[in-house]
Amino acid sequence: MGLVKEFKDFAFKGNVVDLAVAVIIGAAFGKIVTSLVEDVITPLLLNPALKAAGAENISKLEWNGVTYGNFLSAVISFICIAIVLFMIIKAANKIKGPEEVVAPAGPTEDQKLLMEIRDLLKK
């Protein structure tokens, strides 16, 4: 029974559950960003460049025999994800507000007594 209890305690800690939710949300968000890049941004920004290069879609975009369309799509996806995450973190920090600075506590009674002893020994 000890092993089952240990596993239950581990599996249902707040951090593990939060991480699992974050991974699932991240995967879903990745699909949204991929669709945004491939279905919206690429046609709007790159269709003129694709037509000039003679490619019908970004995966067939090549220059001097090197296909770089998929790489370009991945870079655009990364930039979109980075911008959105930056905005989310910035909003979360604004909601959370500034962190309170806790003043350091004064010396304890033991420390005061030791300082008095030190001062007496110096005399």
Residue pLDDT, tens place only, 9-36: 777 776 777 788 888 888 888 888 778 8
Handedness of CA 41, 47, 48, 50 (dihedral sign): positive
For the segment 30-57, what is each residue's pLDDT rounded down to a tens digit?
888 778 877 787 777 766 666 666 656 6
Question: Which two tokens mark 22?
Answer: 């974050």
**What is the rounded (10 degree) CA torsion for 40, 44, 46, 49?**
160
- Mean of per-residue pLDDT scores for the chain: 78
Q: What is the pLDDT of residue 46?
A: 67
| Residue 119 falls inside a structural domain | no
Q: What is the pLDDT of residue 13?
A: 73
| Residue 25 falls inside a structural domain | yes
Q: What is the pLDDT of residue 75?
A: 82
DSSP 50-86: HHHHT-SSGGG-EETTEE-HHHHHHHHHHHHHHHHHH
| Residue 111 falls inside a structural domain | no
The number of folded domains in the chain is 1
| Residue 26 falls inside a structural domain | yes
Q: What is the pLDDT of residue 107?
A: 85
Q: What is the pLDDT of residue 86?
A: 86
| Residue 40 falls inside a structural domain | yes
Question: Which two tokens mark 69?
Answer: 């369309």
| Residue 45 falls inside a structural domain | yes
| Residue 54 falls inside a structural domain | yes
Q: What does the radius of gyration of the chain's CA atoms come to, in whole angstroms?
A: 29
The parent domain of residue 45 ranges over 2-101
Q: What is the pLDDT of residue 52?
A: 63
| Residue 113 falls inside a structural domain | no
Q: What is the pLDDT of residue 87?
A: 85
Q: What is the pLDDT of residue 84?
A: 78
Look up the CATH number of the domain holding residue 56.
Answer: 1.10.1200.120
Per-residue confidence band for 115, with pLDDT thresholds at 50, 70 and 90 = very high
Element (H, E) at 33: helix 14-35
**Residue 103 scores a pLDDT above 90:** no
